[in-house]
Structures are given as structure tokens and as C-alpha cells.
Homo-oligomer: A and B are copies of this chain.
Amino acid sequence: MLKMDAPALTAFLAREFPQVCDDFRVDRVDMQGVSVTLRVADRHLRPGGTVSGPSMFALADVAVYLAILSRVGPVALAVTTNCSIDFMRKPAAGADLRCDVRLLKLGRMLAVGDGLLWSEGVDQPVARASLTYSIPPV
């Protein structure tokens, strides 16, 4: 069952992460996972206009985090413990980036999700990421 929908997750981001909440837009929330878009701005770019690696990491990290929160609610603060990311193609210059997340495991102590990152106008995924979160005891 979903404990938080897109507006609830958006409000949570605004409250807890005011520094970065404008960067992200929650596009979809369901039992499979979430879709989150990085609104690409100058600060996310490398010379040449490509989205930087850290910005892609940040998108995947936030997106899997929100997928977990959508299921457990805003009660406990999950902490990223591992990320593996493959950069496969160059994102289009200046285009927004979307991460489609599958929540693969939601255990008592650990949660695992993975995501594909899509650049508007590129027809294959530009990156792939999997992340593990530790869920502290309530």
C-alpha cells in the first residue's frame, strides 16, 4: 500500500531538503516505484552542456529514496549505504533527465531499488543505477 503519493513526496522534499527540492519533480508514484525528473539547470552541467555525473547520481539517489518513502511513510530516515552506477551514453545537452525506479526489496533493515535514467530526446537509457538504503529501527 502507498503511504505517500506525489504531492506528499513533493511536500516532504520541500520541507526536509529545501536546498535541492526545486531540482526535482515527482512524475509518478505507484506500487512498482516512482519516476522523478531532474529539471536540468546550469549548475548540473559540465562544459559542453552534458549533465554531470554527480547530478545523475543525485537524481538516482533521490528517486530511490522517494520510492522507499512512498511505502514506509515519512517516519524513519533511510540512509544510502551503497550505490552502483553505470554511465552508458551522453545525455542530450541541456535536456531534462528522468529516472524510472523499481523498488526491488523493502525489508525491515534494508531496501534496494534500481533505476534507468533517460535524457529527453535520447531513445536509450543514458545511465543505470542501483542503490541500497539502511532503514534504522523505529
Q: A residues touching B (Cβ–Cβ < 8 Å)? A: 16-17, 19, 43, 45-47, 52-55, 57-58, 61, 79-89, 104-105, 107, 109-110, 112, 114, 116, 124-125, 128, 130, 132, 134
Give the residue name and chain of the B residue nearest to A43 (CB).
B19
Q: Which residues of B contact A52 (CB under 8 A)?
A: 58
In the complex where A58-B54, A128-B104 touch, is A80 in contact with B84 (Cβ < 8 A)? no
In the complex where A53-B57, A54-B55, A57-B53 touch, is A104 in contact with B87 (Cβ < 8 A)? no
A46–B58 CB distance below 8 A: no
Give the residue name and chain of the B residue nearest to A83 (CB).
B85
From B16, B61, B114, A47 is in contact (CB under 8 Å) with B16
Q: Which residues of B contact A128 (CB under 8 A)?
A: 104, 112, 114, 130
From B16, B61, B112, A88 is in contact (CB under 8 Å) with B112
A110–B81 CB distance below 8 A: yes
